[in-house]
Structures are given as C-alpha cells and as structure tokens.
C-alpha cells in the first residue's frame, strides 16, 4: 500500500538549460519528414514538422535512467509537481508544510520502493521524472510494509489513517490480469510544466510496452491530467472517490499498440 502514494498524478513540462535547436540544418537523427509522416503527427508539412522532430529528439537525448545519487533531486521534483495536486492536498491539507512533507516522503520512498526496480527515467537536470514498476512487482510484501511503516508515519503524521485507507482502496482495484507495466509516478517541476517534457520522459517506456506487447496502468490524481494521458493512449476506468468530500482518483489503462 505504501508504494501507492508515489504514483499519484502526472504533470506536463519542459526542458530548460540546453535549448533545442531551432534550425532544420542542425544535427539530428535522420528522419523521414514525408507528407505521410508529418500528417500522422497532425503537423503541417514543411518547417513546422521539421522543428517538431528536432525538438522531440533533442529531448530524447537528455533522458536517462535515474540512480540512487539522483534521489534527492527526484524527491524535490515530485514535491514541486504534486504540491497543488488535489489528492496530495487532501492527504496533506496544510499548505505551508505540504512541500516539505512531500519532499521528505518521496526522499524516503525512492531508495526503498522506486529506484530498486531500475525503471525510473528522468531528464538529465531532473526537472521531469517518470517512475515505472515492472509487471507483477507492484504489490509490496507485508513484511516490507511493516518495516517501512515508521518512516511513512514520520512524514504522514496524523493523516496516516486517511492515507492508508485511500491506498487500500487503490490496491483493491489494481488490475492483476493481464500483467502490466505500472506508472508509479510522473512529475515535472512546477515552473517547467506545459512544454512537452512529460511526454519526453514517457516515450521510452511506452515504446517498450508496445514492443513487448504489454499494457500499462496508472492512476491520475488530478482530473486536469486525464487529457494528457488520453493523448498517449490511456483510457479511463471506474473512478475512485476518497470519502464523501475527498478527491477523485482516475485509474487509466493503455493497451499495447
């Protein structure tokens, strides 16, 4: 149940630092910018299509696997991304301490629940992060949950019962068959959202899902993110409501393409 808290939500975002090339003469992987290819991406044939692909592959060159050394930066990214999220705001109602609690919690979760699976992908500057769990690995053994409970309570405090009740509901509806890749968390630093970096950190694993013929599953903690997921092939499932006045969590499923 504890691992569930780290996968709530998605934010869209952008790279900063090194800028994407703006000229179609810039060095980039060879691409077939035919009319058919451009139309398939909903682009006008010509310069706009060229710039689209240059930006896409510039982003891809800066996506890498995260390691334990990145844990603090990943925690800071998730804390920024989810600070105003409706589900996390319900978990941690006090706005003045929410980011600190989130950063501490994600810093605790990373080495124990996320990074050991070796499928956390990030921009090199850690401004966007996507954490995946392999098929059939999402359920944490009870003994491990008990060992981690003190650290969990340290950051959830008096809201621990509320959060554990919500995580139990999530566990009950998590699909078991067929096995699926599980998007535990996707977040972007708040100041860099809305510029395409969320899609960049997702693309590698979604391509892998398609290659392996495996579906993907997630829960969206913010209704505003549902259209983003839908553009990547995810379909809504029956929503989960937390309490009479609580937020709504939206499970989503993606079949391989």
pLDDT given at position 138: 67
Q: Answer whether the bond into residue 178 is a cis peptide, omega within 30°.
A: yes
pLDDT given at position 128: 95
pLDDT given at position 194: 87
Phi, psi of 22 (to 5 degrees): -105, -5
Output the pTM of the full model.
Answer: 0.74
SS3 label, residue 183: strand
In angstroms, the Cα distances linking 132 to 138, 144, 187 are 9, 19, 12
pLDDT given at position 222: 94
pLDDT given at position 127: 93
Q: Given this structure, which CATH class describes domain 2-12+65-254?
A: alpha beta
User: What residue segments make up the domains of the chain, in order of their start?
Assistant: 2-12+65-254, 19-61
Beta bridge partners of 219: 8, 251
Low-confidence ranges of the chain (pLDDT < 70): 1-61, 138, 140-141
CA-based nearest residue to 82, from 101, 57, 110: 101
Burial of 105: CB neighbours in 10 Å, binned 0-12, 13-18, 19+: buried
In the block, which residue shows the tokens 């800066």? 62
pLDDT given at position 204: 85
6-20 per-position pLDDT tens digit = 444 443 333 333 344
pLDDT given at position 150: 80
């Amino acid at each position: 149940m504890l691992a569930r808290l780290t996968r709530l939500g998605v934010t869209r975002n952008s790279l900063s630092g090194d800028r994407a090339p703006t000229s179609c003469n810039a060095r980039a992987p060879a691409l077939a910018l035919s009319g058919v290819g451009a139309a398939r991406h909903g682009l006008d044939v010509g310069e706009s299509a060229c710039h689209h692909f240059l930006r896409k592959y510039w982003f891809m060159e800066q996506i890498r696997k995260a390691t334990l050394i990145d844990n603090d930066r990943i925690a800071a990214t998730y804390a920024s991304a989810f600070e105003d999220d409706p589900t996390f705001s319900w978990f941690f109602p006090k706005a003045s301490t929410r980011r600190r609690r989130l950063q501490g919690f994600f810093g605790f979760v990373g080495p124990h629940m996320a990074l050991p699976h070796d499928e956390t992908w990030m921009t090199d500057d850690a401004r966007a992060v996507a954490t995946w769990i392999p098929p059939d690995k999402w359920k944490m053994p009870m003994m491990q949950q008990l060992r981690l409970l003190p650290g969990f309570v340290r950051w959830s405090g008096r809201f621990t019962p509320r959060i554990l009740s919500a995580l139990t509901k999530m566990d009950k509806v998590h699909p078991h068959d067929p096995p699926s890749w599980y998007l535990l968390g996707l977040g972007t630093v708040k100041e860099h959202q809305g510029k395409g970096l969320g899609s960049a950190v997702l693309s590698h694993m979604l391509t892998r899902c398609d290659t392996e013929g495996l579906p993907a599953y997630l829960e969206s903690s913010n209704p505003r993110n549902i259209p983003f997921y839908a553009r990547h092939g995810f379909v809504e499932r029956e929503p989960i409501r937390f309490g009479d006045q609580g937020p709504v969590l939206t499970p989503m499923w993606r079949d391989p393409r």
